[in-house]
């Protein structure tokens, strides 16, 4: 065996090395120098993100257990970029909350482990590998969610996450066992080619879909989302709502387009109904939220409801639209969470009412928040408009006009509650607005990256065309 082939796993290898470096730094540094871990890690992770874009050969390893394609590498790069922003945004929070004996390195180690799990999951060619990756991605998150030890809600959120994750993996495993029972293999290629479309296999698909739907918080598997998002520290919430969700979307679409291609008719109708439910319920609940984190939780549920519009019908163009949408969603949501984190970590204020008059004291934060929310709502000229437009176009091309119509109505409803926050910041008067927050360099950098992403990705037609060139030939 040629050891050069291991370079197919370049992303995972570099991440593992990073995880080890964090551990060594954590052990070898004393209390005072612990804060140095942050800049070093951010710098190293930046190098990792850039290195991810270097051209690399693609192929499969371990007899097909693990495989990469240019598209999968792009997905990993998107996740890397997201995690980089999360790292930058959480620097301030780490400095203020992880003092003394708390280990900053632990935070980085856990996030990187989770990311390694996601990378393996996306690259899986076999359901065992997929399952291991999934668990590696999920379990560390519970520790992160519960990491604010002194807060009850944080611990409660951690328990809720681990319980729902355990339940969903149970369901998923049951689906896998059914699939193995009916096919005699766990390799994606074997299953795809021997799919007989019998009812047991359809049941297996439903279970597997359910398991992944928990991760994306598709209605009716969304009930854990708001509580966990609210209880977790904001920076962890942004990781959960963006990176974790994006990776699950990626693996879902890969599975649907390869393994379950044989029952396209069935997953089309499953996606149709879950999509309508997810958009509508996410939106209706988001309107009523008073807490900004719960608000963003339901908004992210509603956003997830738009994703099936690209998957449905199973076209290559739809696939590209989903990847593009996720890329834009990542920047927009991280922008919004970045602002929330900056405010919550400094002042502890989380209620939307407390955002009243924010513009009078914090111009920059309000503007970034407004752009992010407009991007989430799909308003031009920010990128969200393009992401949504392409999803709608792909669905319309497949003939799902009614679904597009429902989605458009939902987009209008979502505009209403996004505007409520904009209204709070710009229009509502407040005698005691949130005081002017002096952001450190990290927070500013994080927000600037998000803003550039939100503005530039939409206009750069070349990005979409690049993604589309990678999906060429699917189907």
Partner 1 sequence: MDILTLLLIVPVLTVIAIIISRTQNQIRMSAAVGMGIQLIQTVNLIFAYLAERRNGNIDDMLFVKSWMWFKSFNIQFSIGVDGISVALIALTGIVIFTGVLTSWKVDNLSKEFFISLIVLTTGVFGFFISLDLFTMFLFFELAVIPMYLLIGVWGSGPKEYAAMKLTLMLMGASALLLLGILGLYVNSSAAPGGLMTFNIIELSKLNIPIEVQRIFFPMLFIGFGVLGALFPFHTWSPDGHSSAPTAVSMLHAGVLMKMGGYGCLRVAMFLMPDAANEMGWIFIVLTSISVVYGAFGAIVQKDLKYINAYSSVSHCGLVLFAILMSDKISTNGAVLQMISHGLMTALFFALIGMIYERTHTRDIRFMGGLMKVIPFLAVGYMIAGLASLGLPGLSGFVAEMNIFVGAFQHADTFHRIATVVVCSSIVITAVYILRVVATLLLGPVKNNDFNLIKDAIWFERATVVILIIAIAGIGMAPMWLSDFISNSLNPIINKLSMIK
Which positions touch partner 1 (CB under 8 A)? 317, 320, 374, 379-381, 385-386, 389-390, 392-393, 396-397, 399, 401, 404-405, 408-409, 411-412, 415-416, 419, 422-423, 426-427, 461, 464-465, 468
Closest CB to partner 1 among 1 and 462? 462
Task: Give the H/E segment covering residue 99.
Answer: none
Closest CB to partner 1 among 180 and 385? 385
Closest CB to partner 1 among 142 and 309? 309
Residue 74: CB minimum distance to partner 1, A: 15
Is residue 365 within 8 A of residue 446, CB to CB? The reply is no
Residue 363: CB minimum distance to partner 1, A: 9
Residue 71 CB-half CA count within 13 A:
22
d(CA 308, CA 84): 27
Closest CB to partner 1 among 342 and 467? 467
Residue 461: CB minimum distance to partner 1, A: 4
Is residue 217 within 8 A of residue 128, CB to CB? The reply is no
Residue indicated by tokens 């009243």: 356
Is residue 89 within 8 A of residue 338, CB to CB? The reply is yes
Closest CB to partner 1 among 243 and 317? 317
Closest CB to partner 1 among 183 and 451? 451
As a dihedral over the C-alpha atoms of residue 317, residue 322, residue 327, residue 333, rounded to 10 degrees, the angle is 150
Residue 321: CB minimum distance to partner 1, A: 9
Is residue 183 within 8 A of residue 190, CB to CB? The reply is yes
Report which DSSP code applies to 17: H
Residue 438: CB minimum distance to partner 1, A: 22
Task: Give the H/E segment covering residue 469.
Answer: helix 461-471
Residue 457: CB minimum distance to partner 1, A: 12
Residue 357: CB minimum distance to partner 1, A: 12
Closest CB to partner 1 among 31 and 429? 429
d(CA 238, CA 133): 21
Residue 456: CB minimum distance to partner 1, A: 14
Residue 382: CB minimum distance to partner 1, A: 10
Closest CB to partner 1 among 440 and 465? 465
Is residue 257 within 8 A of residue 322, CB to CB? The reply is no
What own/partner pairs with CB < 8 Å and gap ≥ 24 does 183-192 have? 186/126, 186/127, 186/128, 187/64, 187/125, 187/126, 187/127, 188/124, 188/125, 188/126, 188/127, 188/255, 188/258, 188/259, 189/64, 189/125, 189/258, 191/127, 191/259, 192/258, 192/259, 192/260, 192/261, 192/262
Closest CB to partner 1 among 353 and 465? 465
Residue 143 CB-half CA count within 13 A:
14
């Amino acid at each position: 065996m040629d050891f050069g082939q291991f370079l197919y796993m370049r992303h995972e290898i570099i991440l593992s090395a990073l995880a080890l470096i964090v551990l060594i730094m954590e052990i070898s540094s004393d209390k005072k120098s612990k804060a140095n871990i942050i800049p070093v890690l951010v710098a190293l992770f930046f190098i990792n993100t850039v290195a991810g874009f270097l051209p690399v050969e693609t192929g499969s390893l371990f007899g097909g257990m693990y495989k990469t394609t240019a598209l999968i590498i792009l997905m990993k790069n998107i996740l890397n970029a997201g995690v980089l922003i999360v790292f930058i945004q959480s620097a301030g929070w780490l400095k203020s909350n992880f003092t003394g004996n708390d280990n900053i390195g632990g935070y980085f180690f856990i996030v990187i482990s989770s990311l390694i799990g996601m990378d393996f999951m996306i690259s899986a060619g076999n359901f065992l590998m997929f399952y291991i990756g999934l668990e590696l991605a999920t379990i560390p998150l519970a520790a992160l969610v519960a990491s604010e030890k002194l807060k009850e809600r944080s611990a409660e959120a951690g328990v809720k996450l681990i319980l729902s994750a355990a339940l969903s993996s149970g369901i998923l495993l049951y689906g896998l066992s059914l699939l193995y029972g009916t096919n005699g293999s766990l390799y994606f290629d074997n299953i795809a080619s021997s799919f007989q479309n019998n009812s047991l296999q359809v049941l297996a698909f439903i279970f597997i879909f359910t398991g992944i739907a928990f991760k994306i918080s598709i209605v009716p598997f969304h009930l854990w989302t708001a509580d966990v998002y609210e209880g977790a520290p904001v920076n962890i919430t942004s990781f959960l709502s963006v990176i974790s969700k994006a990776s699950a979307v990626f693996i879902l679409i890969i599975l649907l387009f390869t393994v379950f291609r044989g029952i396209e008719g069935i997953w089309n109708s499953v996606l149709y109904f879950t999509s309508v439910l997810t958009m509508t319920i996410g939106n209706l609940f988001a309107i009523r939220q008073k807490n900004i984190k719960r608000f963003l939780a339901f908004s992210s549920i509603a956003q997830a409801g738009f994703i099936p519009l690209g998957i449905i019908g199973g076209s290559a163009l739809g696939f590209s639209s989903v990847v593009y949408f996720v890329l834009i969603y990542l920047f927009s949501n991280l922008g919004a969470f970045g602002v929330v984190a900056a405010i919550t970590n400094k002042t502890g204020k989380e209620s939307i009412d407390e955002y009243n008059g924010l513009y009078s004291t914090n111009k920059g934060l309000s503007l970034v928040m407004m752009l992010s929310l407009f991007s989430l709502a799909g308003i031009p000229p920010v990128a969200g408009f393009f992401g949504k437009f392409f999803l709608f176009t792909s669905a319309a091309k497949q003939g799902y006009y009614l679904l597009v119509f429902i989605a458009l109505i939902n987009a209008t409803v979502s505009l209403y509650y996004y505007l409520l926050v904009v209204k709070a910041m710009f229009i509502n008067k407040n005698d005691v607005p949130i005081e002017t927050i002096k952001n450190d360099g990290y927070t500013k950098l994080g927000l600037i990256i998000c803003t550039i992403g939100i503005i530039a990705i939409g206009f750069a037609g070349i990005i979409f065309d690049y993604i589309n060139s990678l999906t060429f030939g699917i189907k």
